[in-house]
Chains A and B, each alone.
Chain A
Amino acid sequence: MTIFSRRRIAVAAVTTALLAASACSGGGDDKGGEAASNELTVMAPLFGTAPDPNGELQQAVEKLIGKKLKVTWVPNAEYGDKSNVTLASDKIPDVMVVNEKSPSFVKAAEAGAFWDLTGKLDKYPNLKPSNEQTAKNSQTNGKTYGIYRVRPLLRSGIVIRKDWLAKLGLKEPQTTNDLYTIAKAFAEKDPDGNGKKDTYGLIIPKWPGNYASASPYDVVETWFGAPNGWGERDGKLVPGFDTPEFLKANEWLRGWVKEGLVNPDFATLDSANWNDPFVQGKGGMIIDVNVRATQLLDLFKEKNPKDFDKVTLVGNLKGPDGEKHSYPFTGYNMVMAISKQHVRTEDQLDQVLQTLDKLESKDGSILLTNGIEGRNFKVDGQYAVPLNQDDPKVKAIQNDVDKAFIQLGTRASVGLGAYALRPNDEASRAMREKFDVLMNEDLKTAVFNPALSIIAPTAVAKGQTLDTIIPDARIKYLSGAITEEQLKAQIKRWYDSGGTDIVKEVNDLSAKAGG
């Protein structure tokens, strides 16, 4: 039987016929009719078990906004896949929580799947952007495709073993040099007092993101004066890794690795286990978001409720040039976009926005972030205190809030715009206060990424090749696998593989978007 037997041809014929026939079907045909005007369809990520549509919380929310809610809760781990399939079907919900920078969304939005909300939000008091920088960050090449969900604008900090500092007679660091001294002391001066040299300073995990994704490396580079992602040099925007400050910062860190001041498995430690070496007393420093401090406090408390205040938090540091540069956050996480599937006219859009406006009002924000006052929590000063947690119905409300409905908030998140949870002990309370103090202080010297909202076509097209060049080179350099010359060669490789085009596009698009 040869490859070209009659059978093969028959197969090919059948296949072609099927292909031809099916080619006419499938895809964007008539996409649904008018929306039921008293129902709002929503899609949002879910972090636990899905709420009951007839549950108390949903009832309360529906009552507040005066409409029925039909929410499709999607497990967060598969949100991307589900979003893509949803975009291909003709069942796009009215309101969709979405990563506005994801290429599928951008393509869909630019093709007309979602409303361009630029300038439209100002007349809704609760939807109007409250922070200009964040609003800018959440745009896509100058256009606003969604209402951003607010998060703290700055969260970076250093968590340090307070008891180790005390034992070694050290003070909290102010500069990068201080940090180095502390790390060296942690590694060499036996801070846990067990007579063995088994401790190190900094704990870094395998970072799941690429360059400029708030990794400890990015934070350190910022301290040294490098830009955050993109920065202006000589009137043009350049990538942050193409600066002498970037190289200096990494040279410094490389020294750390060489001297054993960093955990030996920094290239492979699973970030889900980041706390472990800290709690086990192997390392004494973590550079990450401030909430890790309270997380660690809780872990220590679990280990020994009598003596757990072993954690202190420090803000961003002054670099070798004596200046402080702070690493900010984007200020938001995903946006709520409005699809044109059922919302076809400006009037309908206005309706939906009004509904959302109600949802994000002060009362709505409390419902979404805390729950039903008097049922699952009560107010104590500025705090929310959990109530009736043994009642299964109340537990259901709490679960609905924490794992689901809080995802619908744009105006409030934990600690912002609604009641914060009352801390369980003095140490936590003091720590939380510190968050705000440090944040406000550090925001004064925040280094924002001016190109955060820019989506360069070449960056999208060649991302799979380009995105990993710099982070990989950085790790290899830090671990000693390559030299600084080779690191510079990798940077050049980035440029040669398409980076040059990206730089040009970013500059052009940025100018167009009003820089």
Chain B
Amino acid sequence: MATDLVPEVVQPAADSSRPAPAAKRTRRARNLPRDLFRYRWLYLLLLPGLVYFVVFKYLPMYGLTIAFKDYVPFLGYSGSEWVGLKHFQELFTGPDFGRLLFNTLLLALLTIVFVFPAPIVVALLLNELRVNVLKRSVQSLVYIPHFLSWTIVASLTYLLFSVDFGVIANWIHGIVGGQKTDYVAQADWFRPLIVLQLLWKQTGWGTIIYLAALAGVDSQLYEAARVDGAGRWRQFWHITLPAIRPTIVVMAILTSGHLMDSGFEQIWLMTTSLNRDVADVFDTFVYYIGITQGSFSYATAVGLFKGVVGVVLIFGSNLLAKRLGQRGLF
């Protein structure tokens, strides 16, 4: 029986204008009209956004139940037949499920380990950079790859790594010797290439948000620390990192919800007959279903499944963050 005010309220700055401090720990009778009036400005500010969510996010939500039907666009929602859990059964018992799950999760794991931290590291490095000219130039350049479409990234990958004339491929071959490896074709190199592509394309863009967090740090804190005799490392550890930590936590929790989402277009472009076994993920699977079956229902069912996993992950990581002493999303 939780209310708003229960355990998580650890606000040190207790102030008289705030209602019922934590000490009470009893359920305060909620007086709706009074609260509406008291916080009227806040509710007013909240209203437009709320309307948006209801109209554009929740009204179409009935579409989720398409997962339980055999939806034919022409027949419309009501005209389409109800099939219950058929699509889910097909999904879970199909021959591909295990492989899809494995590929999706492995890719997600690699993304968490390599791609998630990269913008943080780069943002921190940039923050510490003392050469202004370089700092500005790097900042102005690293985000540009984000704008290139995956088609171009795929062509560039091919250009650089092709077994025939790939510049990087030949360069590596020059150093390592032996037989020429076809990086683009072989299954073993599929995941590394995907991760490299993600790193190249997304890191720069990702630094922006962390730079914003660092920009908000009061430089007086650094001054004070220096005066107190703190060296560079200590300043980093005690000022910079804590400044960026909440952002990292929030980003981590939110991103966990998308764990099962893989970059569909990116993977689709890099899939070949030779690496399909490791390349197939839920998203490409669903796309292919759309082409071969035109089945929206199946696609929605997979989306629903991913959504459920996503919700569990978000609330799970939120709890984890709280246990570790961070603020979490709530």
- Say yes or no: B62 contacts A18, CB within 8 Å: yes
The smallest beta-carbon distance between A90 and chain B, in angstroms, is 9
From the candidates B60, B276, B293, name the one contacting A103 in the complex (CB within 8 A): B293
Please determine whether B62 and A19 come into contact, CB atoms closer than 8 angstroms: yes
A506 to chain B, nearest CB (A): 16
Interface status of A512 (Cβ within 8 A of chain B) = no
A467 in the interface (beta carbon within 8 A)? yes
Q: Report yes or no: A268 in contact with B74, Cβ–Cβ below 8 A.
A: no
Q: Is the CB of A467 within 8 A of B62?
A: no
Nearest Cβ on chain A to B2's Cβ, whole angstroms: 5
**Chain A residues with CB below 8 A from B289, complex form:** 463-464
**Could you say which residues of chain B place their CB within 8 Å of the CB of A270?**
155, 158
Is A265 an interface residue, CB under 8 A from the partner? yes
Q: Are B163 and A265 in contact (CB under 8 A)?
A: yes
Q: Is the CB of A23 within 8 A of B65?
A: yes
Question: Which chain A residues numbered 200 to 247 have a C-beta less than 8 Å away from chain B?
Answer: 206
**CB-defined contacts of B6 to chain A, threshold 8 Å:** 1
Interface residues on B, range: 35 or more
Do A80 and B291 contact each other (CB < 8 Å), given the known contacts A28-B75, A265-B184?
A: yes
Q: How far is the CA of A6 from the CA of B330 in the complex (A)?
A: 15
Chain A residues within an 8 Å CB radius of B8: 1
- A-facing mask of B48-75, CB < 8 A → 1, else 0? 0000001000111110110000001111
Q: Are A467 and B330 within 8 A (Cβ)?
A: no
Task: Report whether A1 and B76 are in contact in the complex, using a CB–CB cutoff of 8 Å.
Answer: no
Nearest neighbor of B274 in chain A, beta-carbon distance: A267
Among the listed B158, B182, B292, which residue makes an inter-chain contact with A463, where contact means beta carbons less than 8 Å apart? B292
Q: Which of A18, A80, A111, A465 contacts B59 (CB 8 A)?
A: A18
Contact status B65-A19, CB under 8 Å: yes
List the B residue with the shortest CB-CB distance to A92. B74
Closest beta carbon of chain A to B77's beta carbon, Å: 3
Residue B259 interfacial (CB < 8 Å): no
Query: A25 contacts which chain B residues (CB < 8 A)?
Result: 62
A26:B77 contact, CB within 8 angstroms? yes
Most buried by B among A111, A206, A464, A468: A464
Inter-chain contacts of A19 with B (CB < 8 A): 61-62, 64-65
Q: Is the CB of A87 within 8 A of B73?
A: yes
**Residues of B with C-beta under 8 A to A112:** 74
Task: Decide yes or no whether A471 CB sits under 8 A from chain B.
Answer: yes
Binary interface profile of B, 74-112, with partner A (CB < 8 Å = 1, else 0)? 111111100000000000001110000000000000000
Tell me the bound Cα distance from A475 to B274 in angstroms. Answer: 7
Which residues on the B side are within 8 Å of A80 (C-beta)? Answer: 290-291
Provide the residues of chain A in CB contact with B72, threshold 8 Å: 104, 107-108, 111
A264 at the interface (CB under 8 A from B): yes
Any B CB within 8 A of the CB of A197: no
Give the distance in Å from the alpha carbon of A112 to the alpha carbon of B74 in the complex. 9
Query: What is the interface residue range for chain A against chain B?
Result: 35 or more
Q: How far is the CA of A24 from the CA of B274 in the complex (A)?
A: 47
- Shortest Cβ gap from B272 to chain A (Å): 5
Q: Are B288 and A107 in contact (CB under 8 A)?
A: no
Which residues of A lie under 8 Å from residue B244 when comparing CB positions? Answer: none
Return chain A residues, CB-CB under 8 Å to B80.
27
Set A7, A15, A263, A461: member contacting B61, Cβ < 8 A: A15
A107 near B74 with CB under 8 A, answer yes
Do B76 and A27 have beta carbons less than 8 Å apart? Answer: yes
Cβ of A324 within 8 Å of any chain B Cβ, yes or no, is no
Determine if B164 and A265 form an interchain contact, defined as CB atoms under 8 angstroms apart.
yes
Cβ contact of B58, chosen from A6, A18, A497, cutoff 8 A: A18
The reply to whether the CB of A118 lies closer than 8 angstroms to some CB of chain B is: no
In the complex, what residues of B have CB within 8 A of residue A206's CB? 272-273
Given known A27-B76, A88-B74, contact A264–B164 (CB-CB < 8 A): yes
The yes or no answer to A102 lying at the interface (CB within 8 A) is yes
A70-113 CB contacts (< 8 Å) to partner B: 80, 84-85, 87-88, 92, 102-108, 111-113
In the bound assembly, the distance between CA atoms of A107 and B315 in angstroms comes to: 40
In this complex, the member of A87, A107, A463, A479 whose beta carbon has the largest number of chain B beta carbons within 10 angstroms is A107
Closest to A277 in B: B164
Given contacts A264-B164, A472-B273, contact A26 B95 (CB under 8 A): no
Query: Are A476's CB and B78's CB within 8 A?
Result: no
Q: Which residues of A contact B164 (CB under 8 A)?
A: 263-265, 282
B residues near A, CB below 8 A?
1-2, 6, 8, 54, 58-62, 64-65, 72-80, 94-96, 155, 158, 162-164, 180, 182, 184-185, 272-274, 276, 285, 288-296, 315, 330
Closest A-B pairs by Cβ, 10 of them: A27-B76, A28-B76, A463-B292, A27-B77, A103-B294, A88-B73, A104-B294, A475-B273, A22-B62, A108-B74
29 contacts between A and B (CB under 8 A): A1-B330, A15-B58, A22-B62, A23-B62, A24-B78, A28-B74, A28-B77, A28-B79, A80-B290, A88-B73, A102-B294, A103-B293, A103-B295, A106-B294, A107-B294, A108-B74, A111-B75, A264-B182, A265-B162, A265-B182, A267-B272, A267-B274, A268-B163, A268-B182, A460-B292, A464-B289, A465-B94, A472-B274, A475-B273
Interface residues of A (CB under 8 A from B): 1, 3, 5-7, 15, 18-19, 22-29, 80, 84-85, 87-88, 92, 102-108, 111-113, 206, 263-265, 267-268, 270, 282, 460-461, 463-465, 467-468, 471-472, 474-476, 479, 481, 497
